[in-house]
Chain A
Amino acid sequence: MNCKFVPSVCSYCGTGCGVLFEVIDGKINSTLPLKSHPVNQGKLCIKGWSLHEYINSYMRLKAPLVKENGHFQKATWDEAITHAAKNFNRIKETHGPDAIGVLVSAKVTNEENYLAQKLARAAIGTNNVDHCARL
């Protein structure tokens, strides 16, 4: 039986609270606030306290799904990405690049957000970039 604690950052919003996962035998058992973290100083909201519930949820998506004939089918990453790229290209060619918008998130890192806007502006060719935290 082993028990370790893994520090991490809460993935729910852009605040960036420090959390600590209690891992028993390789499975996350509960979430604690990281006391020495400068952002949340040992406090969390209800979502942070419940992080382990969605990690262990049976409803969690572990493989990409592609909708075929109105039903979601399990696919590999290669298939899913090819499918998405093909259809984005089709939309861009038929309706122009501004028919596509990119929504990014406060939950991901600055670097990932940067890459997403780069994809939107440089690869797709649209300025339609927005994110969930712009309320």
Chain B
Amino acid sequence: MNITKQVEQLLKQGDVDIFLAYRELDGHLIPHGYTLDNLEDLENLKVSQHRYSLEKVATHLTEKKPNLKIGIVARDCNQRALNLLYTWNQLSPENITPLMVNCCPSQTRNHSDCTYLEPKKTGTFKQKKGIDFNENPREFMDNNDNGQRFSRWMYEFSKCIKCYGCRNICPVCFCTDCSLENPDLVEPGALPPEIPIFHLVRATHMAGRCIDCGLCEDACPAEIPLRFLYREMNRIVSDVFDYTPGAGLEKSPFTIIGNEVTLEPRPMDA
């Protein structure tokens, strides 16, 4: 059964009140909320190769109407984001119906629909002064000493125009009070923002949260290799807590409210 029929059935049976997928409008593939009121739009339903954070839209809809039943066209990254939002009580699994669609090319799927599978290209100046998007973190550590790594990261961070795009597009950024807007942590009105603290505040908050979807890096006008940074952050989380964000419905080790802390305090490098 093709996806249009499936969505039509879900809507007509009342399994979902709204289904979030894509449609073609004026030559652009953009997200769209399909409901019983606009069934005629269904013929334009598409699975876009451009990826938007539909799960973030679902959290916005849930904010307005908590019991709304939402269907979502989901790839692996969307599913990881949904899992994470379930564990942080931002969405409830009973109200969400994901319809899985093609993502990674594999033995069974010989084509993919996602633009993110193509590795990003890095220019020669960036390779020389900054950080290659595709560099292996191990090799990066081996080939650069402390000072070089610092200067390369500072070069990348200094390009920041403080657009907050990385936070705004992030499917798992849902705090109402954002530390990046706290004047005690990040001085307002300065460009570039206080570096590296601005990016490191966000990086620490991505520990145990980031589901490695790559939307932040894609939205960054300054081409800062954010994915590299957050991946390394979560490698530590994986080593210390044996936890991969979004992999399942396991509760995050960072939800400490109400729990007794079992970790022994110790220095970072011990």
Complex Cα distance, B34 from A5, in Å, reads 11
Find out whether the CB atom of B169 lies under 8 angstroms from the CB atom of A32: yes
The closest CB in chain A to the CB of B68 belongs to A1
| Residue among A3, A18, A32, A33 having the largest count of chain B Cβ atoms under 10 Å | A3
The closest CB in chain A to the CB of B19 belongs to A3
Q: Which of B27-63 contact A (CB under 8 A)?
A: 27-33, 35, 37-38, 50-52, 57, 60-61
At the interface, yes or no: B14 with Cβ under 8 Å from chain A?
A: no
| Residue among B25, B51, B163, B218 having the largest count of chain A Cβ atoms under 10 Å | B163
In the complex with contacts A1-B65, A30-B60, A36-B50, A44-B28 CB distance below 8 A: no
Number of inter-chain CB pairs below 8 Å:
80
Find out whether the CB atom of B18 lies under 8 angstroms from the CB atom of A3: yes
**Shortest CB distance B35–A (Å):** 6
Q: Which of A8-49 contact B (CB under 8 A)?
A: 18, 20, 22, 24-25, 29-30, 32-37, 40, 42-46, 48-49
Find out whether the CB atom of A45 lies under 8 angstroms from the CB atom of B161: yes
At the interface, yes or no: A2 with Cβ under 8 Å from chain B?
A: yes
In the complex with contacts A24-B61, A32-B52, A46-B162, A1-B26 CB distance below 8 A: no
Residues of the B chain whose Cβ atoms lie less than 8 Å from the Cβ of A29: 60
Find out whether the CB atom of B30 lies under 8 angstroms from the CB atom of A33: no
Find out whether the CB atom of B165 lies under 8 angstroms from the CB atom of A25: no
Find out whether the CB atom of B163 lies under 8 angstroms from the CB atom of A45: yes
Find out whether the CB atom of B163 lies under 8 angstroms from the CB atom of A46: yes
In the complex with contacts A37-B28, A46-B161, A4-B50 CB distance below 8 A: no
Residues of the A chain whose Cβ atoms lie less than 8 Å from the Cβ of B25: 7
Find out whether the CB atom of A46 lies under 8 angstroms from the CB atom of B164: yes
**Shortest CB distance B117–A (Å):** 15
10 A-B pairs with the lowest CB-CB distances in the bound complex, closest first: A3-B33, A35-B50, A43-B221, A46-B163, A36-B28, A5-B30, A45-B163, A5-B31, A49-B168, A36-B50
Query: Interface residues, chain A, CB within 8 Å of chain B?
Result: 1-5, 7, 18, 20, 22, 24-25, 29-30, 32-37, 40, 42-46, 48-49
